Amino acid sequence: MTGYFISRNYKSLFNAAGKAKTDCEFILSEKGFKNLGFKQSSIPNSAIGTLKNFLGISFALLRLPFKSTLCTQYPLNKFRNYVMFIAKLKKCQIITIVHDVRFLKGRTGSADKELKKIVSSDAIIVHNEAMKNWFLEQGVTIPIIVLGIFDYILTKGLPDQNNSIRENKPYEIVYAGGFGEGKNSYIYDLDLLQQEEFKMNLYGIGFDYQKLKIEKEKSILSYKGAFPSDVVAYHIEGSFGLVWDGISTEECSGQYGQYLKYNNPHKTSLYILCGLPVIVWDKAAISTFIKDNNIGFTVSNLNELSHKLENLSLEEYQKMKTNVDRVRSKIISGGYLNDAMNQALKTA
């Protein structure tokens, strides 16, 4: 059976959301799915990109065979209703990979309106059990498959700069992401914590040394620059990766922080790909995956971080690193989406 998808334009090579979707397209292609649309592109101009998307999607829908299998990705902004209408008209089986639920992200006030867009599929693939449970609580009855974690494709192979075990403290903790207001403003408060056991290596767009709470020379924060999403993994160096969003070091608060209760942050996959165990908020949905695979540890408050690192033995850290190697081999090969798609094709 041949399945199909429709590629599109993705505006930014620095954008994690774009990377997740282009990786899905790559994995689907490797699985034998065919792109019916124009070739994938990264035109930064919104107007030109939107026009190309419309023309490419229209071209694809004309070519879409009747009663075939179409894999879509959500959100698709302006054109999802158009795609779904034609695909249903052609009596296609539709599988949707859910990247974001805007209602859970605090971007829209209507869960019902968004649900109609998502569950007009024959099966959906969601991030984790917490997100699946939310859909079930809304009365969704179509098959819901759990992804587990997002894959992260690199054509140049696994990074090797973090392969050795570093016995010297303090630990180097990595944070990768854009430094926008509300997203991770807690970063600038890390200097105020008890933090003898760690320092921070920061990667992403928008970091501002002017916002430091202490003198730059005394800060544990070290900004390493911003890199495109397909090469940043080869630049990241550290001992752990940190998954923590919001405005507070005491908990993941604000709309970004609370979204961690349902979301699988793409940076989690990036850290693992770099060979780094992961530190995550204990109420984050992805914390279950981290604990089940013993590839890091959880904290309820970043004030706990130094104490936890102080009590971490070299043997425990080595075991986490070994487990990370196992998981990252599956992540770079597209194994998690491949497993989820196999399950979706059986149940849809």
**Same domain membership, residue 215 and residue 145:** no
| 216 assigned to some structural domain | yes
**Same domain membership, residue 134 and residue 13:** yes
3-state secondary structure of 198: strand
**Same domain membership, residue 176 and residue 248:** yes
**Same domain membership, residue 176 and residue 146:** no
**Same domain membership, residue 17 and residue 83:** yes
User: What CA–CA distance (Å, rounded) separates 298 from 324?
Assistant: 16
Q: Which long-range contacts (CB under 8 A, 24 or more apart) does 56-64 make?
A: 56/6, 56/7, 56/8, 56/9, 57/6, 57/8, 57/82, 57/83, 60/4, 60/6, 60/35, 60/36, 61/6, 61/36, 61/86, 61/87, 63/36, 64/4, 64/36, 64/90, 64/92
User: What CA–CA distance (Å, rounded) separates 313 from 295?
Assistant: 14
Task: Tell me what pLDDT residue 195 has.
Answer: 84
Residues 271 and 241 sit within 8 Å (Cβ to Cβ): yes
Confidence band for 17, pLDDT divided at 50, 70 and 90? low
Encoded tokens for 335 = 């194994």
pLDDT at 167 over 90: no
**Sequence letter at residue 12:** S
Confidence band for 83, pLDDT divided at 50, 70 and 90? very high
**Same domain membership, residue 205 and residue 65:** no
| 51 assigned to some structural domain | yes
Based on the structure, what is the number of domains in the chain?
A: 2
| 206 assigned to some structural domain | yes
User: What CA–CA distance (Å, rounded) separates 170 from 198?
Assistant: 4
| 165 assigned to some structural domain | no
Residues 71 and 5 sit within 8 Å (Cβ to Cβ): yes
User: What CA–CA distance (Å, rounded) separates 244 from 53?
Assistant: 34
H or E stretch at 112 = helix 111-118
Q: For the residues 240-265, what does the mean pLDDT come to?
A: 93
**Same domain membership, residue 179 and residue 320:** yes
| 183 assigned to some structural domain | yes
pLDDT in tens, 286-306: 999 999 999 999 999 999 999
Q: For the residues 168-173, what does the mean pLDDT come to?
A: 85
Number of Cβ atoms within 10 Å of the Cβ of 142: 16
Q: Which of 133-137, 163-167, 172-176 has the lowest mean pLDDT?
A: 163-167
Task: Tell me what pLDDT residue 76 has.
Answer: 83
pTM: 0.94
Residues 241 and 279 sit within 8 Å (Cβ to Cβ): yes
| 144 assigned to some structural domain | yes
Q: For the residues 27-54, what does the mean pLDDT come to?
A: 92
| 340 assigned to some structural domain | yes
Confidence band for 46, pLDDT divided at 50, 70 and 90? confident
Task: Tell me what pLDDT residue 194 has.
Answer: 84
3-state secondary structure of 313: coil
Task: Tell me what pLDDT residue 328 has.
Answer: 97
**Same domain membership, residue 124 and residue 41:** yes
Residues 187 and 200 sit within 8 Å (Cβ to Cβ): yes
**Same domain membership, residue 311 and residue 226:** yes
Confidence band for 108, pLDDT divided at 50, 70 and 90? confident
Average pLDDT, the chain: 93
Confidence band for 13, pLDDT divided at 50, 70 and 90? low
**Same domain membership, residue 223 and residue 123:** no
Task: Tell me what pLDDT residue 164 has.
Answer: 78
Confidence band for 256, pLDDT divided at 50, 70 and 90? confident
Residues of the chain with pLDDT > 70: what percent? Answer: 97
User: What CA–CA distance (Å, rounded) separates 228 from 204?
Assistant: 9
**Same domain membership, residue 302 and residue 340:** no
User: Looking at residue 239, which CATH number applies to its domain?
Assistant: 3.40.50.2000
User: What CA–CA distance (Å, rounded) separates 108 from 118?
Assistant: 14
Q: What is the DSSP letter of 65?
A: P
User: What CA–CA distance (Å, rounded) separates 42 from 177?
Assistant: 20
pLDDT in tens, 60-82: 999 999 999 999 999 987 899 99
| 192 assigned to some structural domain | yes
Task: Tell me what pLDDT residue 45 has.
Answer: 85
217 backbone φψ class: left, alpha, beta (φ>0; ψ -120 to 50): alpha
Domain housing 283:
171-331
Picking from 55, 109, 106, 112, the residue whose alpha carbon sits closest to that of residue 78 is: 55
User: What CA–CA distance (Å, rounded) separates 104 from 92?
Assistant: 29
Encoded tokens for 249 = 């070091």
**Same domain membership, residue 300 and residue 237:** yes
